[in-house]
Structure 1
Amino acid sequence: MSYETRPQTYDETIRILEKKDYRGIAEFILPSVKEADEISLEHTKLSVPDMREMDFLAKINMNKESFILHIEFETVYKSNAQMMKRMLRYYTYIKWHNDLPIYQVLMVLKKPVNVKNIKGSFESTVQGLEIMKYNYKVIKAYEIDKNEILSQKSIVFYPLRVFMKHDGETEKEHILECLSVVEKIEDTDYYFLTVECLKKIYQTSEYEEFVEEEIYMSSALYKEPYEKGREEGLQEGETKTLARTTIKFLIKKFGIIPDDLKESIQKLDATTLEIIIDNILEYESLDQIKKYIR
């Protein structure tokens, strides 16, 4: 069986876990939250084109204090500068939309290859004037003993145990142990998500033979793509069909058409393709088609 990852699958892992137990995520990341009077999820989508959707955002009411808890889970940590800019931009937009104190946490899942010291703060001073002090909490998942998750019964973090410290175990033993733990959970989505996390750190040959196909395939997440993926898949399928139809009609009308034009047509959106098809009888040359190519 092939365990090829759908592009959106891992990106949605945290959001699926969040739906299952968002309070459990918040309490593990910030233990004092166990005393919270109320925890409510906040909207994580930002109306900024080049910004990723935030992983976790919740409003906490605790001991007469209200604040926002923002958590990012990172597998590919490239540099301190890049991460700080991203976290600061998140902070700015959260603050803009919700004027409450913000507690930010970055959980680094995989140990960075080229960064020896992960930083979570910086200071800015100009001409002796202190402009800014900014910091967020950094949690290194790869330094957490995976058995700590079991002892705390933090089930929502079971799939992420694959990233954690496993002293005294070979990689094979580690993979088998992580899978055996979620195999016992009635909700097979946890097994599915554990396999998705394994794909992030191991080659297929290192884990595939240990996966119980019956359990993996019984998950609702395997049977049905995530909502976002399903919508994108339908849109992609519709667009591909329209592109093939457009090319077929153009060949019938003009004969052979250049390969570069075919490729450009295949990149057009569904609306544009429908316009071309609707007006196919009116075109007198391929140059009239090129006006739709940007």
Structure 2
Amino acid sequence: MVLKWRWCIQMSYETRPQTYDETIKILEKKDYRGIAEFILPSVKDAEEVSLEHTQLSVPDMREMDFLTRVNMNSESFILHIEFETAYKSNTEMMKRMLRYYTYIKWHNDLPIYQVLVVLKKPENIKNIQGSFESTVQDLDILKYNYKVVKAYEIDKSEILKEGKVVLYPLRVFMKHDEIDEEKHIEECLEEVEKLEDKDYYFLTVECIKKLYKESKYEKYVKEEILMQSSLYREPYEKGIKEGELKGRREEKIETTIRLLTKKFGTMPEEVKEAISKLDLVTLELMIDEIFEYKSLDDIKKYIQ
């Protein structure tokens, strides 16, 4: 059984370089509010936190990791989080974050709070920067900054104290000065093994593989626990595809209800229930036409 698991690790890196990005997406779907509150603690007091569409058309760039709309104390803004394990240079990262900012702003005119979470300590970068200024002929052209969170400087025990289960797999990347690497990996696996949802065990293993690519620690992985995860039992690609479709549909339901409420006021519960049963294509059609509606009667063709 160990040999089988070892082979799976090798194959995942040879054929599935995007696996880690999928890991972040799964954690987001499990508890996106928990992630938002960890990165920005004041979100705990928010009246509304809702997932936003992250598949914006950004040429030559991967999909954004995490995008939510936050309504808090009469202020609305977009929270954008990127998780990075291979930090190459300040210049490259700033350009990437600025391109994301530009595309988010193009599609949504709300203020944007950007956060970069660096999971793995860079080998050649001593000072991670999160801001720059551009001046031409003594004229201030641009001042740009985003918050930088260094996960590898966070004490992993703090995550357990706060009970942020959605972050348990990411504890693999966090500070563990008091114990060596092997003991650290063993402890991280033991904590997620206690959880009822075995997907967290599977996702912790994925994080281990990202941090320790030579797979030195497979001896600590219990395949009988790993196999209890739905992510292990089902074909991974199929699970991701279905999860993405379900997640997109849920996002569209929330967006449709939010926009209609903003336009017409409090929505009748029966209307909300009817919208929640619509398919993805119908929801997208409703959103496209939402600014043409004069009253709620205009949406009856979709919900009857």
TM-score band, normalised by the shorter chain? 0.7 to 0.9
One-letter amino acid matched to 1:39: V
1:81 maps to which residue? 91
| Offset of residue 228 of structure 1 | 7.7
Q: Secondary structure at the match of 2:217?
A: helix
Contact 1:159 1:193 survives alignment (8 Å): yes
Distance 1:60 1:166, change over 3 A: same
Amino acid at match of 1:140: K
Deviation at 1:14, TM superposition (A): 0.8
Structure 1 match to 2:196: 186
Matched, 1:106 2:116: yes
The alignment's TM-score, normalised by the length of structure 2, stands at 0.74
Kindly indicate whether residue 209 of structure 2 is the aligned counterpart of residue 195 of structure 1: no
Matched with 1:20 is 30
Distance in 1 (CA, whole Å) between partners of 2:142 and 2:19 is 38
Contact 2:48 2:70 (C-alpha < 8 Å) held by counterparts: yes
State which of 221, 226, 246 in structure 2 corresponds to 1:216. Answer: 226
Shift of 1:205: 4.3
The answer for unaligned runs of 5 or more in structure 2 is 243-304
Percent identity reads 74
* Cα separation, 1, equivalents of 2:241 and 2:36: 29
**Equivalence for 1:91:** 101
Q: How does 1:1-294 map to 2 (within 5 A)?
A: 1=4, 2=6, 3-4=8-9, 5=12, 6-224=16-234, 225-227=236-238
Instruction: For residue 8 of structure 1, report the CA deviation from its aligned partner.
Output: 3.2
* Deviation (angstroms), 1:191: 0.2
Which residue in the other structure is 1:241 paired with?
none
CA pair 15-230 structure 1, distance change in 2 beyond 3 A = closer
Bigger relative contact order, structure 1 or 2, given CA contacts below 8 A and separation 6+? Answer: 2
- Secondary structure of 1:134 counterpart: strand
Q: Deviations over 1:101-149 (max 9, x none)?
A: 0000000000001111000000000000000100000000000000010
How many Å separate the matches in 2 of 1:49 and 1:134? 22
Q: CA RMSD in A?
A: 1.4
Which secondary structure state, in structure 2, belongs to the residue aligned with residue 179 of structure 1? helix
Q: What per-residue deviation string (whole Å, max 9, x for no partner) do you get for residues 138-195 of structure 1?
A: 0000000000100100100000000000011011110110000000001000000000
Instruction: Check whether the contact 1:9–1:226 (CA below 8 A) recurs between aligned residues.
Output: no
Cα separation, 2, equivalents of 1:229 and 1:63: 35
- Structure 1 residues 34, 230: closer, same or farther in 2, change over 3 A? closer
CA distance in 2, matches of 1:226, 1:215: 20
**Length-normalised TM-score, structure 1:** 0.76
Gapped regions of structure 1 (runs ≥ 5): 232-294
- Match of 1:218, SS state, is coil
Match of 1:240 in 2: none
Q: 4+ runs of 1 displaced by more than 6 Å?
A: 228-231
CA distance in 1, matches of 2:144, 2:204: 34
Compare CA radii of gyration and give the structure with the larger one.
1
Contact 1:188 1:215 (8 Å CA) reproduced: yes
2:157 maps to a residue whose letter is N
Give the residue type in structure 2 aligned to 1:166: H
**Structure 1 counterpart SS, 2:79:** strand
**Structure 1 residue 196 displacement after superposition:** 0.4
- The Cα of 1:49 is off from its aligned counterpart by 2.9
CA contact (8 A) 2:22 2:240 kept: no
**Per the alignment, do residues 156 and 230 of structure 1 end up closer, same or farther by CA in structure 2, a change over 3 Å counting?**
closer
Question: How far does residue 226 in structure 1 lie from its aligned partner after superposition?
Answer: 3.5
- Whether contact under 8 Å (1:8, 1:229) holds in the other structure is no
| Cα separation, 2, equivalents of 1:229 and 1:185 | 22
Match of 1:267 in 2: none
C-alpha distance in 1 between matches for 2:162 and 2:232: 28
Kindly indicate whether the alpha-carbon contact (under 8 Å) linking 1:121 and 1:135 is maintained by their aligned counterparts in 2.
Answer: yes
Structure 1 residue 47: Cα displacement: 1.4
Compute the displacement of 1:204 (Å): 4.0
What's the secondary structure of 1:107's corresponding residue?
A: strand
